[in-house]
Every structure is written in C-alpha cells, then in structure tokens.
Amino acid sequence: MFVKNDEEKVAIVGVGHSKFGKRLDVNMNELAWEAIKPAIQEAGITQRDIEFYSVGNFGYWSEEILPAVTIGEYAGLKCGSLKTEAACASGSASLKIAMDSILAGKSKIAMAMGIEKMYNSPNSTIIELIGRAGNYFWEFENFGMTFPGYYALYATKYLDEFKSSEEDLCEAPVKAHHYGSLNQYAQFQKETTVEECMKSKYVSRPLKLMDSSPITDGAAALILARGDVAKKLTDTPIYIESQGYATGTAYMGRRDNYLGLEASRRATESALRGAGLDGIGTNFDLFEVHDCFSIAEVMAYEDVGIAARGEGIKLLKDHQTYHDGKFPTNLDGGLKAKGHPIGATGISQAVEITKQLRGEAGRGRQAQINKGRALQHNVGGTGHYAYVTVYSRGD
C-alpha cells in the first residue's frame, strides 16, 4: 500500500443513529434528524459546513418521493445532494458517493446517510416490492418468487451440501438477539433460543421467521471529512481505507452455484487489495456482515473469508464470531435483531464499526481492538450488489 497524504484520505468524524423499529411516532424527516443531529454534534460542525450529502433509500413505499430534498430542508442543509439506491446496499452506495465527493476535491466535509420508513405501507405492498428486488420479469412475475424465497434456495442447497440442520442456522438469531439485547438502538432488545427459533413459522422453507430480518423504520448518518480536516475536528478519526464493489446476475438461474454470493467474493477481494492487504488473516478486529437471513450470515463468513466454504456454521456454533471470539461479527445485533431499514443498513454498519474502533461500544458488546481495523460487508438483493468497505483507526 502506498502512503497517502492526509488530503488523500477520508475519515468519519461524527456518527448518528436513530432508534430502529416500528416508528409510527415520527415522519421521515423527523426520523432522519434523529440520526443527523448527533452526527453533526459529534463532529462539532454546523449544517453550513456540509458541502454535499447523499441519502441511501430504497423508498418505493415512501410518501415523500424526493427524500433527499425534504430531509435536507428539515435538517437545515442547503448544499447539493442526491438519493441513491443499490437495494439493501444503498447505505454503502451513499457512503461511496459522499467519500468520492471528498476525494474528488469537490467537498471537504460531506454527509452520507441512509433511511427507510417501511411501516407506513401495508405488508402486502412491502412483500411485493421486496419480491421485485430480484429479476422482476423472469422470477417475480413468472414464478412468483418472494425475497425470502431467493435465500431459501441458498439455504436448501447449503444444508444439503454440508449436512447442516435448521437448528444450526438458528444459532445465527441466537447470537444476533444476544447482542441486540445490549444495543439501545436495536429493534429487538431481547434474547432468543434455538428452541424458540425452531418453533417460529416458516417464511420460506427452510427459513423461518426467526431466521429473517424484520421490517424496520430507521436512519443512520455519518459526517465525513478530508483527512487533514478530520484531524482538526476529532482525536479519533476513523478512516475509510478502501471499498470494493461488484454487481451479480439478477437471474438466480444463472448463478454458478448456491453456496455463496460471487459478487460478495469479488467485492471483498477488491476491498482487501485496495487496503493493501493480502487476505483476512489476523488483520481485522471486527466484522459487520449482511445477515438478512441466517443463511446470509453463514455465507458471508465464507465469502468474506473468515471461514472456508462449508465451515461457516461451525464458526458460528463455536462462538468464534462472538465479541470474545476470533472474528467478532455483528456485535450490534446485525440486521436480524438491530433491524434492517433497507437504505439505512449500510450506514448503520459503519456507525457500529466507528464506535467499536473508538472503543465506545459498551459493556458486553465491545470487541478487543488490536489492529484498529474492521471490515463491512453489505449486500443488495441476493448478491445483485455487493459493497465491502475497510475501516481503520489509521494506527
């Protein structure tokens, strides 16, 4: 890795996170402000200092059809902006845009946020719209696939190939809910058990309700600054070292196999290369992975490379992805327990990583920070999009 000047770096200097859950008590602008306000305060800046902002939002169910505008106005921002969508990786896309704006010399301080307000829509609308987030023409309209159905194909193949069980998959929500119970922003702040998971209804066999991330309202925000500016604003800048991204086929029938997501693997390789690392090794203190379903978490372990193919389940069962394990992962409760407000998820993961790398995650959740480096894995669709981002304290 070549050495960069401060002017060639981007760091997170402030983060904010709304309470995730069923948030019928606020409208979209108010929900956004719950995340933006603390981010601005933490950074010690005012709205005027923000020169560009991007909003990650899927939003087909929203009443406000130009969310970046109404949110910006409510938050007192007058600079340029845009909305971005990369399905469930919209938050990472938002991060890319704000980061690139700084690296391109267009802004010194920019905001990347993400938001989704889903509970205002009827369930049937949400199920249809998420179902269409595959290939509409071939799979939704012709075969009636729903979104859990896509991941159920992967789960079926995985369980068969590696002689694993539904009970094994249920270890994922057990971990997620454990950490969710310790996270004040999480949608579900209670523990669960393998038994409770096994008793929950099938959503799409073999995936059950407790294998599935919920419908969530939520927002998260990051204030980004150019390296030299960041150093003036904070003693604990968290640098974005690199980002890798890839797009995968939308046709499930064209996937090579159902034992992982090719786009995740390509994005990870690219992110590691960008950070000057030759592999996962012991380079990372912490991981955030896209666990929209139990099987997604297991595949993520393998795609990112903290487990060999077929060994993700074992890693989970051995508690190696708990906070005191070898590869601490999703210590915020993940999409499963923290919640999955689509456009906000990628930013929420970055907020968690920032707090962890600063050592502010709190009792029972804080990972041991040695290398000062973390990796985020954020998937859109079923690997239609993959964004992998490497963060560091810059030690």
- Residue 27 as a binder of a second copy (CB under 8 A): the answer is yes
Q: Find the binder of a second copy among 112, 129, 240, 335 (CB under 8 A).
A: 129
304 and 375 in contact (C-beta within 8 Å)? yes
Calculate ∠ Cα 182-176-171, nearest 5°.
Answer: 135
155 and 297 in contact (C-beta within 8 Å)? no
> At its nearest, how many Å lie between a second copy and the CB of residue 160?
28
- Residue 127 as a binder of a second copy (CB under 8 A): the answer is no
Query: Which letter does DSSP use for residue 19 in this model?
Result: P
**SS3 (DSSP) at 141:** helix
d(CA 179, CA 183): 6
- Residue 385 as a binder of a second copy (CB under 8 A): the answer is yes
Q: Which is nearer to a second copy, 187 or 242 (CB)?
A: 242
Strands 218-226 and 207-208, sheet pairing: unpaired
- Residue 224 as a binder of a second copy (CB under 8 A): the answer is no
Q: What residue has token string 């999480």? A: 186
Q: What residue has token string 């009827």? A: 122
- Residue 52 as a binder of a second copy (CB under 8 A): the answer is yes
> At its nearest, how many Å lie between a second copy and the CB of residue 141?
8
> At its nearest, how many Å lie between a second copy and the CB of residue 366?
32
Q: Which is nearer to a second copy, 81 or 192 (CB)?
A: 81
**SS3 (DSSP) at 390:** strand
The residues that bridge with 34 in the sheet, in sequence order, are none
123 and 129 in contact (C-beta within 8 Å)? no
- Residue 250 as a binder of a second copy (CB under 8 A): the answer is yes
> At its nearest, how many Å lie between a second copy and the CB of residue 64?
5
d(CA 337, CA 21): 10
Going by C-alpha positions, the residue among 308, 309, 325, 367 that lies closest to residue 317 is 325
Catalytic residue among 177, 290, 323, 340: 340
Q: How far apart are the first and last CA of the chain?
A: 14
Catalytic residue among 17, 88, 290, 384: 88
Q: Which is nearer to a second copy, 266 or 373 (CB)?
A: 266
Query: Which span (215-223, 247-255, 277-285, 316-324) binds a second copy, by CB under 8 A?
Result: 247-255
Going by C-alpha positions, the residue among 242, 252, 345, 328 that lies closest to residue 291 is 345
Peptide bond into 67 cis (omega under 30): no
206 and 156 in contact (C-beta within 8 Å)? yes
232 and 6 in contact (C-beta within 8 Å)? no
> At its nearest, how many Å lie between a second copy and the CB of residue 26?
13
Position 86, amino acid: A
Query: Which span (13-21, 86-94, 221-229, 327-335) binds a second copy, by CB under 8 A?
Result: 86-94
Q: Find the binder of a second copy among 105, 124, 163, 253 (CB under 8 A).
A: 105
- Residue 93 as a binder of a second copy (CB under 8 A): the answer is yes
Q: Find the binder of a second copy among 22, 25, 41, 65 (CB under 8 A).
A: 65
Q: Which is nearer to a second copy, 17 or 384 (CB)?
A: 384
- Residue 387 as a binder of a second copy (CB under 8 A): the answer is yes
- Concerning whether 319 is annotated as a catalytic residue, the answer is no
Q: Find the binder of a second copy among 2, 3, 5, 104 (CB under 8 A).
A: 104
Q: Using CB under 8 A, list all residues that contact a second copy.
A: 27, 52, 60, 63-66, 68-70, 72-73, 77-87, 90, 93, 96-97, 99-106, 129, 132-137, 141, 243-251, 266-267, 380-381, 384-385, 387
Catalytic annotation, residues: 88, 340
